[in-house]
Each structure stands twice: as structure tokens, then as C-alpha cells.
A and B are shown apart, each in its own frame.
Chain A
Amino acid sequence: MSKHLYLGVALAALTASGALAQDLKFAPGADARFNWASYEALQQMDLSGQTLTVLGPWLGPDKDLFESVIAYFEAATGANVVYSGSDSFEQQIVIDAEGGSPPDVAVFPQPGLAGDLAKKGRLVPLAEGTGDWIKANYAAGDSWAAYGNYMGPDGVAHQYAFPFKADVKSLVWYVPENFEDAGYEVPQTMEELKALTEQIVADGGTPWCIGLGSGGATGWPATDWVEDFMLRLNTPADYDAWVANTLKFDDPKVIAAIEDFGWFARNDAYVAGGAGAVATTDFRDSPKGLFTSPPQCYLHRQASFIPSFFPEGVVVGEDADFFYFPVYAEKDLGQPVLGAGTMFAKLTDNPAGDAFITFLESPIAHEVWMAQKGFVTPYKAVNTELYGDETLAKMGAILLDATTFRFDGSDLMPGAIGAGAFWTGMVDYAGGKPAADVGAQIQATWDTLQ
């Protein structure tokens, strides 16, 4: 018996020391660029012995990065955070919440799903004032706060989710050396981008690599194109109306946005492999055409995560770079940015969950991740010098300079549209169906939901 006891104590000691020795990526106090005051403020919360479970969509390297951020929360408060990732997060969270064994905190990649769960009463509202905090401290804070504000089961809206970690979608990737070889300039306006596209064709090259394939989610990359054009042809108010379906899918404004995408994607000369290859090329394989010899294409429009699918050895910032997907000079719509982000929501009353959200409000939580890679934040109080590389800093600047930030519309629409009819409709469109028919068909599906 006593032997077991000793063993238990020894084991406990081992695990405890393991938790303490867990190395923090950046030693507290060492690098003055970090906001260590915000880290020390966290130490006032004492959560020793408490456990917090977090479920999120990040796996592999993303998971390691997130855990390096969590480590600071654990070190400051003594809490034990257990993070688990799932590639079928959307199904997993519904099963766990409905089945009665939810994680304390969940990381939603789509606000739509979090809103559904909030309506069913599976989410717990965040502390009072969180919404105001987001509005005050995030660039384009009103939009960000709105994406975490859902109707509860009582029919009253609360702030249920806290946005942390953003993705910038309005980016065009290119290989600077290929531009140099051919003498091309980075276009500043949409008119220049279209002219460049024609120029490349005239020079005997193929301008674009576009791939919509993504298994069961085939078609989503095209929805990003259409959303970007919605923001470049119409006002932000129109965009919001479109997402809420008060501006119908078969409205001429929406059709025009779809057709602008078609200007690029439905021209055999403009797309690597011809227009027929657009719907069948996997989005993960499609950027590889930038790096072949000779280049299969010169341009690729995709979100900030795409470098993880570049061939091995490609250095972003040197071998590959990006520019802001430009706006029409003739339209005066400011600098709209399309993006996405992950939303943290509480599913239980565990007080450690509140403490964790407080942690996410502190600059240090953002700075630890931005100093590594794959993280941009709209938080205005962080030190932007800390971005791990220039590419991230550039993306962060796009986010902070945005006159308008709009969340990926398909993530906000009802699942049957944003993760269904819109995707398949865009595949049909890429396959040659007229834009008006596609718009009418998606609108017809939406009408059946109401």
C-alpha cells in the first residue's frame, strides 16, 4: 500500500515538474518588445489544480503553436489546459455538446456553427463587457464583435464568442523572380491586374492557377473569389445584406461579382490547364504551379494559410510573395479586406474558461504566437515589430489598415448555403453554367430554408 503511495507521489512529482519545466518559447522579461506587464497581470489569477479542456480544429504544427501560447496561461495561473484537435471539429463539437460531455472551451473556425449551438443553449455567454472590449481594441472591432454575438435560446443576443487569430483572404501570391524575369510589376488596381493577366497571355504565359477541389468541400475557394468581388463592386452594406439574404443571390449585383470571377476562371487562356481543370484541381496542389519550371502560372489568389502547401524549401518573402488583391480604381470603396478567424466560446461554467478568455484579451497571448508563425491579429495594442517574418507583418498591416473588414460570407450563411449550395453552384459555374442560372439556383435553395 505504502509502496503504491510512494509511487503515486513520485509520479505526481514527475508530472508536476514536467508542467513547470515546460519551456516557454520566450523567457518572461527577457525580450523587452513583448508586453510582459500583461503577463504579470495574469499571475494574479490563481487556478492551480484546475483543469480546462479545449477542443479546436488545429492539428500538427498549428497545434504545437497553439500549445506554446497555452503554456503561458498555464505558467501564469497554474491551471492545466488539455487541448485536443480534431479534423472533423464541426461534427465532433456537435456530438460532444449534444451528448452532454462538452469541452470547457471550443475554438470555432466558423461563426455560423457557433451561432447554431448558442441558439440551442449549448454555449455560455462570455463575461459582461467582452463585446465592448472587442469593439474598442480590435481594428474594425464592430465587425469582429458582431461575428461573436449570437442570439441565445432566450431570444436575447449575447457575446458568446471571442475572436482570436485571423486569416487574411484577399491575397494574390506570386514569385517575384518570375515577375523580374518577365518584367512585370505588382498591380495596384484591379484594372492593372486585369491588364497584367492579358499581358501574360500575350507573352505566351498562363497567368492564373485556380483550383477548387477540396474533397467534400469542393468549390469553397471560388466562394472566396466571389466574396472578394462583392466587396470590390458593392458597398459593405450590400455585402451584409447579401450574407443575410436581404440582397438576393440572383440580384444583378451578385451576378456581376460571380461574372467577375468568371472573367478570370472561365477563360482557357487565363488558367493553367484550361478552364475545365479549375473545378477538378485540388486547392492544395494548385499553388505548386507557381514554382515549376517553366512556371505553369504567375498568380494565385488564396488566403494567408496557403504557404503550408508550397513545395518544400520555398521561402515566403524571397521565393514567393503576395500582394493585396486590388480594388477597382474607378470605384471608391476604400480598402476592403476579406478574412476569417477562429472564435473561442465557452461551453461550460468552468471559471477557468473565463480566465482563459481574459488571457486571450492580454497582448502577450497574441504576441507569443505572432512572434512565431502563421498568426495575424487585428488587436491594436500588440507590438507589430514582433511579427515572426516580414510576410506576417505585411498581412498584419493589411488587417490593421483595412477600412472595411468582412468575414468570409460563406461561413456566415446557413450551412445548407455556405457549406452546400454556394459550393456546388460555383462548381457548376466553373463548369460553364451561366451565372444567372447559378444565382437563381442558390437563391431557390435559400428560399426553401425560410
Chain B
Amino acid sequence: MDNIAGTRARLVWAVNLAAAVLVILWVVPTIGLLVSSFRDRDQITASGWWRAAFPATISSFVRAGTAQDQFQENGLWVIEGNVLEPGQGLERWGTSSRAPEAYAPGETVDLKDGEVITVAPDGGYRLTAPQEFTNTRGMRIFITTTTPPRFTTDNYARVIGAEGLGRAFLNTMTVTIPATVIPILIAAFAAYALAWMQFPGRALLVAAVVGLLVVPLQLSLIPLLRFHNEIGLGKGYLGIWLAHTGFGLPLAIYLLRNYMVGLPKEIIESARVDGATEFQIFRRIILPLSFPALASFAIFQFLWVWNDLLVATVFLGNRPDQLVMTGVLRELLGSRGGDWEILAASAFVSIAVPLLVFFALQKYLVRGLLAGSVKGG
């Protein structure tokens, strides 16, 4: 007995460990994205996000003051300033890109034409010359510094402050809510009929729905848009609701039907015996019992429509007043998609609402994920 119990305990440990490893593996990219969203563009290209929390040794250069900053002192022209930002420590410095680490802090170096420069350990520099400075662009001082970890919220400020984001948020809501509710309504009726009503060709219909599941939606973009234009629907909210409904229905019907088939036959039969009509059975018995499946599909559909860019740009258009959130965030990336830092921040901004929906419905999701997978019940 002890032996068996020991094996079980070890098994539980193994399972927990495996689960933990999987969870960490899955969460790492998200953490990386989160860390990156708080770093600026140059940091992102300079080092990996996992090094964001440690002080870094960075080689860079700063520009000394220009002729405008000079003042006269004891017959010398002087430009003064500081090469360090708060928190940085100076390791080495130099005046040429050929030897950027030539001097230690505190050293004094002769440049051309009697100019002399010194950079103190605290970063203060002093550039002197016997004649007046005339440069409009400051000379480069190369510095090697230790820099403490630095994070910025600028990316979020840029995303949230983006022009038209509020409008786009409303547009997305206008698209998403009906595009989630309509397919559920239709699919619930259809699923009930396919699960519990007897009529010829039912099995064929179910097979057809399963067949539709594998049709890629990209295939139907152009024909559907042409159809919308021909019947005078054009580009607009009605069009995109219909498109999302159509694209979502096969999965919705399939999922709900499989769940409803699993409901206990006895309840439905006794309702029939008691004289309930089909609609009463559907409304009073099936709907309340199917709530987990409905909720889980609602989450799927909501997430999919919320994150969608393709269907929205095709059926809603690209005008500034028509853009959905994904469209506005994409615009922030620029014509050539170079602004990585915006990508990370906008991902977390756009994730906020779906997360709320998810947490509101998650207790149903866990149950609903099993929808249709277990027969009987």
C-alpha cells in the first residue's frame, strides 16, 4: 500500500512539475513583451529584454556644447557641461571613434589648436581653447558608462494618446458586440434543431456544417464583398456583422450541437410527455443547461472579432472614421513597420478588454472547454 501511495505522490509531483514547466514556457513570451513595452526603441535594439533589470555597461557618445554655450574665463574660452545622465557612472571616455575608451575619468587631454578637454569622474566636462569656438555642432565625447535599469511609460502614453483611438474603440465595440451576439442566437436555435429535432437530412446538414469549418475565410473575402456591393450593402457595420456571423457560425453550431446532444435525454422526453412545445423545451430547458457552452463560444467569438484586422479592413474600410482599434494600432507602427516598441505596448492596451471578458466568463470557459468532448452525462 505504502508503495502505491508513494508512486502516486511521485506521479502527482511529476504532473505538477510538468504543468509548471509548461506554464512558464507559455508565459515567458508574454513577460518578454511586457518588459519590452516599458523600454524605448534604442534599448530594445541594444539588448534583450531579459537584461532589462540589470545595470548595463554601455558605450555611446554625447555631444559637448556648441559655440552658443561658451563663456570667457581668464582669457580662455570655455564650454562646460555634464556627459552623464542621473544614475550613470563613468568608466572610460575618449574623443575619437577610433579610440572611444582612451582615457580614464579625470584625465586631461590636449586636442588640436590648443584646445584642452577634461572629463571628471562625475561626468562634468570642461573644454577650453585660447580662441573663440565657432562650431555649431558640439564635438563628440565617447563614454563608457554603467547605466542602471531604466524603464519608460512613453510607449503607453503614445498608444493611449494616439489620435482616433477613442473613436476606434467605439468602432471596435460596435463591431464586436453584435458580431458576438448574432451568431450565438442563430447557432443556439440551429444546434437545438440538429441535436433534438427529427427531420430528414439532419445528418447531412451536420456533415455540411463540419465541412464548412475547414473553409478558410480568406477564400470568400472577394466574392462576399462583391455580393455586398451588388445588393447595395456596400462597406458598413451591417456588412461586417453579417460577415463575422457567417465566418463564426460553423464553429458555433458544431460546438453547441455537440454539447446539446450530450444533455440527458430523459429531461427532454419528459418535457415532451408533459406537452411542452419545441420552443418551450428550447427556452426553458436547453438554453439554461447550455449556458457553459454558450459562454465559452461567446469568449472565442469575442476574442476573434476583437483581434480581427483583416475582415474589418475589407468590409468596413480604411477611412479614419471607420478604423477599428487594430487598424489604429497598426498605423502607429509606421509605413515600414519599424516601431517595435509600439507593438508591445499596443498589444497590452488592446488585450485589456478581452481580459476583462475572459475573467468575467472564465468559470464557464473551464466547463465549456469540455463541451461536446464527453458524451452522456
Report which A residues bind B (CB closer than 8 A): 53, 55, 57-63, 82, 84-88, 92, 95-96, 98-101, 175, 177-178, 181-182, 215, 284-285, 288, 292-295, 305, 308-309, 311-312, 315, 318-319
Contacts and interface: CB of A to CB of B under 8 A. Distances in A.
A101 B137 contact: no
Contact of A182 (B98, B143, B338): B98
B113 interface: no
Given A92-B318, A293-B60, A294-B59, A60 B229 contact: no
Contacts of A84: 317-320
A87 B100 contact: no
Given A85-B335, A86-B318, A293-B61, 18 more contacts: A59-B331, A59-B333, A60-B331, A63-B335, A95-B222, A98-B226, A100-B226, A175-B97, A178-B97, A181-B96, A181-B98, A182-B98, A288-B45, A293-B97, A293-B143, A294-B142, A308-B336, A319-B137
A61 B56 CA distance: 33
Contacts of A53: 319
Given A84-B317, A98-B226, A60 B42 contact: no
Contacts of B320: 84
A63 B328 CA distance: 13
Given A87-B337, A92-B318, A182-B98, A101 B225 contact: yes
Interface string B136-147: 010010110000
Interface of B: 41-42, 45, 59-61, 96-98, 100, 137, 140, 142-143, 221-222, 224-226, 228-230, 234-235, 313-314, 317-320, 330-338
Given A86-B318, A101-B235, A59 B334 contact: yes
Chain B interface helix/strand/loop/mixed = mixed
B316 to A, nearest CB: 11
B234 A101 contact: yes
Closest 7 CB pairs of A and B: A99-B225, A84-B318, A100-B229, A60-B334, A293-B59, A284-B338, A181-B96
Given A100-B230, A178-B97, A309-B338, A95 B221 contact: yes
B45 A87 contact: no
B318 A85 contact: yes
B334 A61 contact: yes
Given A95-B314, A101-B225, A101-B234, A284 B42 contact: no
Contacts of A293: 59-61, 97, 100, 142-143
A61 B338 CA distance: 13
Nearest to A88: B313
A175 B137 CA distance: 14
Nearest to A294: B100
B234 A295 contact: no
Given A100-B230, A101-B229, A294 B222 contact: no
A295 B226 contact: no
14 contacts: A60-B333, A84-B320, A85-B318, A85-B331, A92-B318, A96-B225, A98-B222, A98-B226, A99-B228, A100-B225, A101-B234, A101-B235, A292-B59, A293-B143
B335 A58 contact: yes
A375 B228 CA distance: 39
Nearest to A295: B97
B229 A99 contact: yes
B221 A99 contact: yes
Contact of A318 (B100, B137, B235): B137
Contacts of A86: 313, 318
A181 B97 contact: yes
A82 B143 CA distance: 49
Contact of A177 (B97, B222, B319): B97
Nearest to A319: B137
Given A87-B337, A178-B97, A293-B97, A92 B222 contact: no
Given A99-B222, A294-B59, A312 B41 contact: yes
A53 B322 CA distance: 13
A122 to B, nearest CB: 12
B152 to A, nearest CB: 12
A336 B154 CA distance: 44
A57 B335 contact: yes
Contacts of B45: 285, 288
A98 B218 CA distance: 14
A109 to B, nearest CB: 10
A294 B42 CA distance: 16
Contacts of A215: 337
Nearest to A204: B98
A95 B225 contact: yes
